[in-house]
């Protein structure tokens, strides 16, 4: 098999290493060494380490938002025809399906989720700004649809619950390997990612439909 070109080799290696150790902890020398590529290649092709990080994200998020956008439009169109509202389950289902679809091609869901987690938790101010500016609009579209699907929730409450859920998903899927090892060791149950998503589904729905907190 022919070796992929330099740019692809760098991206392939970088995303795995970033996902494993974080951005600051992964040096260009480690990346280029493992990718069997000259050190200067990163700066030549990407300009800087920062841009490499953004490129790694773009390679996931561009196809993701593209598909997600299409899926949401289609969902809206279908329900617009018969005038019904889109139920929450269907929205969550659509998001889950898209998240699973995109990295499936490279068997890298774990990497994708780890990267999302890192984008939130690692400092890297430039990343948050980049993601917000590039993909913020599509996410807003989604939250607007969720708003219509859960009209009984106050806006702020829905906002927080969405982030609770986001935390569950990112946290669980990004720490997947470690957790899976523990689960297998303690309960010998070996779960696949799709089984885990199945486990998440009722929990997420229940979280969104939980009663409002007591006012004390």
Contact partner at residue 82 from its own copies, DNA, none, CB < 5 to 8 Å by partner kind: none
Question: Does 44 participate in binding DNA (rule CB under 7 A)?
Answer: yes
Q: Which is nearer to its own copies, 81 or 185 (CB)?
A: 185
d(CA 191, CA 24): 31
SS3 105: coil
Q: Which residue has the tokens 């600051």?
A: 24
d(CA 205, CA 27): 41
Tell me how many residues contact its own copies (CB under 8 A): 53
Binding residues among 150-189 for its own copies as defined by CB under 8 A: 155-157, 159-161, 163-172, 174-175, 179, 182-183, 186-187, 189
Q: Which is nearer to its own copies, 40 or 182 (CB)?
A: 182
Task: Give CA angle at 94 (98, 128), nearest 5°.
Answer: 55
**Which runs of consecutive H residues, i.e. helices, occur in the chain?**
6-21, 28-35, 40-45, 49-82, 88-104, 109-121, 125-149, 155-174, 176-187, 193-209
SS3 154: coil
Q: Which is nearer to DNA, 50 or 79 (CB)?
A: 50
Question: Does 212 participate in binding its own copies (rule CB under 8 A)?
Answer: yes
Contact partner at residue 45 from its own copies, DNA, none, CB < 5 to 8 Å by partner kind: DNA
Question: Does 79 participate in binding DNA (rule CB under 7 A)?
Answer: no
d(CA 147, CA 143): 6
Residues in contact with its own copies by CB under 8 A are 20-22, 24-25, 117-118, 120-123, 155-157, 159-161, 163-172, 174-175, 179, 182-183, 186-187, 189, 191, 196, 198-203, 205-207, 209-214, 216
């Amino acid at each position: 098999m022919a070796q992929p070109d330099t740019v692809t080799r760098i991206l392939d290696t970088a995303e795995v290493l970033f996902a494993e150790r974080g951005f600051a902890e992964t040096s260009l020398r480690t990346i280029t060494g493992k990718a069997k590529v000259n050190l200067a290649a990163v700066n030549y092709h990407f300009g800087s380490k920062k841009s490499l990080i953004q490129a790694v994200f773009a390679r996931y998020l561009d196809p993701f938002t593209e598909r997600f956008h299409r899926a949401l439009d289609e969902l809206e169109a279908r329900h617009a025809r018969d005038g019904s509202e889109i139920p929450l389950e269907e929205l969550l289902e659509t998001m889950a399906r898209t998240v699973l679809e995109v990295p499936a091609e490279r068997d890298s869901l774990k990497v994708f989720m780890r990267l999302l987690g890192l984008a939130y938790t690692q400092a890297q101010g430039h990343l948050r700004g980049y993601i917000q500016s590039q993909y913020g609009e599509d996410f807003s579209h989604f939250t607007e649809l969720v708003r219509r699907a859960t009209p009984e929730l106050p806006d702020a409450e829905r906002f927080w619950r969405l982030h609770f859920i986001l935390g569950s998903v990112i946290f669980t899927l990004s720490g997947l390997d470690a957790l899976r090892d523990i689960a297998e060791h303690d309960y010998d149950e070996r779960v696949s990612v799709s089984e885990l998503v199945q486990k998440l589904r009722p929990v997420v729905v229940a979280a969104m439909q939980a009663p409002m907190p007591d006012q004390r």
